[in-house]
Amino acid sequence: MERYKIIKEVGDGTFGSVWRAINKQAGEIVAIKKMKRKYYSWEECISLREVKSLRKMSHPNIVKLKEVIRENDILYFVFEYMECNLYQLIKDRGKLFSETEVRNWCFQVFQGLAYIHQQGYFHRDLKPENLLVSKNIIKIADFGLAREISSQPPYTEYVSTRWYRAPEVLLQSPMYNSAVDMWAMGAIMAELFTLCPLFPGSSEADEIYRICSVIGTPTEIVWAEGLKLASAINYQFPQLTGVHLSVLVPSASEDAINLIKSLCSWDPCKRPTALEALQHPFFQSCFYIPPSLRSKMAVTRTPPSATRGLSEQKSVRRYSGTVSDSKPASKFPPAKSHVPLTTASNYNVKIGCGVSETAEKLGNLTVGNARLPAKQALPAPMKAGGCHGQTDLFLGRSQEIQTRRSFTKKVVG
């Protein structure tokens, strides 16, 4: 660590604090995440599956892990430095982002996600705080670590951030997959348009209630598996019809609404994969090549996104075949397969994140009929964000942001 000069703290999370630092020799600015938990052997650090995966990941839209250092039983991760996180941008934003900005960010995140999923991982904690931005580039950060780190006390209460948590996880599905990241992306995308979280639940039950109030209660046809999951934990969905998303996200185009809607499908199988999302008409302009460049493109078949420094990914290149006529693949959504990597029980056993506690909370609850056990008033485990437990469905933007601000973890700088 002597090789680095610490400049200032830029983030303080549950598992570590993040500092801006400079590599004295190279003069390079980096971000150093100092883990709160102690690591007593090097093996303990490098055998972390997530550390291995992070070191392997190399993609323009994934924050690069440069070095792992263990010194005096403290573990440090040295990352490339990013200017800020997406939450900070949203919170400080006075006016709405343009659709072009939203599109550019989402296009990049989906590329990063497609890569992660292709590598056989899924993030599980996608949220604006974990998407880091520098200039026009956005990168996925903080992935994979939570699971391993959370397996050690005192981190037993950690579960992915509630507002972006997929319904199958809320309903304690024994098995979930990369589609949970797609759900989170739907919520994030909507938030980028409105600057307000789409499903800011104050508890697991309130989270489901809010989801029902937006996308309507699932029926047997919509999500048979979900109804089974709910009945397995004795949970009764509130009966709500939902609203048209364009009412809640008025500044979004029809294509954008369409994509958010499919990402936020109750049934994980009905959500597009990251690769499919990239082919959605919403991203059509990302594939636009000026006619003057088309002949060159036809020869090189380079993805147009590369012109923005976005993609070197093989899987995305595949779509560049459609570039010369400046249209995305016509079929949406084609047959898909989310990466089934782990089971919730697996995950929960590992992180000890209190499945039974949550199941109990949900199981005892009939939100629609206002039968709330005293227990429900307890703040649910959360890492960042949260509400005051109010059940008003649609607060004004300023209230939402205020609420969220006051509960979000400290972010310095």
Sole binder of ligand ADP in the list 4, 70, 75, 79 (CB under 6 A):
79
Is residue 15 close enough to count as binding ligand ADP by CB under 6 A? yes
Is 125 catalytic? The answer is: yes
β-pair type (131-134, 84-85): antiparallel
As given in the structure block, the two tokens for residue 384 are: 């960042």
Q: Using CB atoms, what's the residue nearest to Mg ion?
A: 142
141 versus 248: smaller Cβ distance to ligand ADP:
141
Sole binder of ligand ADP in the list 63, 90, 249, 353 (CB under 6 A):
63
Is residue 18 close enough to count as binding ligand ADP by CB under 6 A? yes
Sites for Mg ion among residues 142-161 (CB under 5 A):
142
Report the alpha-carbon distance of residue 175 to residue 184 in Å, rounded: 17
Identify what 181 binds: ligand ADP, Mg ion, none; CB under 5 to 8 Å per kind. none
Give which of 207, 126, 139 is closest to 170, Cα–Cα.
Answer: 207
Report the alpha-carbon distance of residue 365 to residue 284 in Å, rounded: 44
CB of 124 to ligand ADP, least distance (A): 12
- Establish whether 331 is an annotated binding residue: no
How far are the Cα atoms of 28, 103, 269 from residue 304, in angstroms, in the given order?
A: 30, 14, 29
Report the alpha-carbon distance of residue 2 to residue 341 in Å, rounded: 39
Q: Which stretch binds ligand ADP (CB under 6 A): 13-21, 98-106, 184-192, 282-290?
A: 13-21
Report the alpha-carbon distance of residue 119 to residue 115 in Å, rounded: 6
Give which of 55, 62, 69, 52 is closest to 6, Cα–Cα.
Answer: 69
Identify what 200 binds: ligand ADP, Mg ion, none; CB under 5 to 8 Å per kind. none
Is residue 142 close enough to count as binding ligand ADP by CB under 6 A? yes
CB of 123 to ligand ADP, least distance (A): 11
Report the alpha-carbon distance of residue 106 to residue 324 in Å, rounded: 22
As given in the structure block, the two tokens for residue 291 are: 């006619």
Binding site as annotated, residues: 34
Q: Which residues bind ligand ADP (CB under 6 A)?
A: 10-11, 13-16, 18, 31, 33, 63, 79-82, 85, 129-130, 132, 141-142, 411
